Amino acid sequence: MNKRNLMIAFLLLFNATVFAQDASRKPMAKLINDEFKFAADQYKILARGVEPGLTPQSFKDGKNVNYDIKWWCSGFYSGSLWYIYEQTKDEAIKKEAESALKVIEPNQTYTGNHDLGFMMYCSFGNAYRITAKPEYKTIINRSAESLSTRYHENVKAIQSWNKSKFWDYPVIIDNMMNLEMLNWVSDNGGSQKYKDISVVHANTTLRNHFRPDFSSFHVVDYNPETGAVKRKATWQGAADCSAWARGQAWALYGYTMMYRFTQDKSYLKQAKGIAHFILNHPNLPADKVPFWDFDAQGVPFAKRDASAAAIMASALLELGQYTTGAEKNEFKTSAETMIYSLSSDAYHAKLGENGGFLLMHSTGAYPLNSEIDVPLIYADYYYLEALARYKNWYL
């Protein structure tokens, strides 16, 4: 059998397996209930591997990987715990969530990168939503002010990373996610300037980050004096011209969120365009868990990225709230497929395994040989968010 026929046979077998699994799916309501109960037990195991003053990131070679609080992922652990507590009312989980918040609280004045939204809104935002404690809102507001310092009028965008030998003024598609905190603060008693920054940044990204097919570049580097685009490139994707899977997920989620806050139809159009690019891409597998890059070398044997699927599922569920008819059904059923796939043995850990993380097989930065085929804390976070959103909006 030649290589082409072997590949076709592999894909047919894989698709048959997926559809066989579809036939035995448990009802979504039961799956969600079971998943949150499992998450409470699993995260108690994860908590035992967290070193004091650090936050959990991954699990590799039988060891937990923990990072400093200024790492961009530091808010996802507490955010995940709050999602679990909200569904289970497990007091031990709540206590751990509160402790995790204390660890990252100093980040409210951090201005070293653009990730304050990930760090402080995914954590304190969920905590405030659930508890309404005013001290949490104060911290969110202070975090928004810190993030706003990275906005510069010449470029009309928030600078993602500091200037280096590689970049002058880099803006990455991931930055769309951090706008949620700015919007929320303005809409909840804070200065209007935060939402204004958010809208201007989203518009600059809309002009410069996207190709005609709605796929996104990872990095756009600007001239900090004139605001002119210097180059469009990648740091974590397969190539400058490729569609890095998690980058497409950030873009989908980001413009869906921007529509929520502004009702600007250009954002809704963009979100729907991105969704159709993802869902109609010939390299999207039948289980809808993407390869780490849609243009990765070695498809269909390239590494998957469960984190991208989790983000996409959560975003598609929200996008389904703003659409109707066949389009709404497409977004909802695609998210369902992603959730069922992630909850299957192919991607889902067993109790006590995987270092206490929920999902396996995420890819952080393949070209940098970093975090390849491992659990990642943000994959768990957006998976839990997708489950909660499905329960709130579709059950």
CA distance 243 to 273: 14
CA distance 246 to 250: 6
Report the candidate in 178, 205, 199 with the shortest Cα–Cα distance to residue 72.
178
The one catalytic residue among 34, 61, 168, 174: 174
CA separation, residue 378 to residues 55, 123, 307, 315 (Å): 12, 12, 7, 14
Residues in the annotated binding site? 115, 174, 234, 246, 250
All domains in the chain, ordered by first residue: 17-48+265-395 (1.50.10.10)
Query: How many other CB atoms are found less than 10 A from the CB of residue 103?
Result: 18
CA distance 220 to 234: 8
Residue 227 burial by Cβ neighbours in a 10 Å radius (0-12, 13-18, 19+): middle
pLDDT at position 25 is: 87
pLDDT at position 344 is: 98
pLDDT at position 2 is: 52
Residues in the annotated binding site for substrate? 115, 174, 234, 246, 250
What is the SS3 assignment for 335?
helix
pLDDT in tens, the chain (395 residues): 454 444 544 444 455 444 444 546 899 999 999 999 999 999 999 999 999 999 999 999 999 999 999 999 999 999 999 999 999 999 999 999 999 999 999 999 999 999 999 999 999 999 999 999 999 999 999 999 999 999 999 999 999 999 999 999 999 999 999 999 999 999 999 999 999 999 999 999 999 999 999 999 999 999 999 999 999 999 999 999 999 999 999 999 999 999 999 999 999 999 999 999 999 999 999 999 999 999 999 999 999 999 999 999 999 999 999 999 999 999 999 999 999 999 999 999 999 999 999 999 999 999 999 999 999 999 999 999 999 999 999 99
CA distance 369 to 108: 31
The one catalytic residue among 22, 61, 115, 287: 115
Residue 380 annotated in active site: no
pLDDT at position 22 is: 52
CA distance 30 to 32: 5
pLDDT at position 13 is: 47
Residue 174 annotated in active site: yes
pTM: 0.95
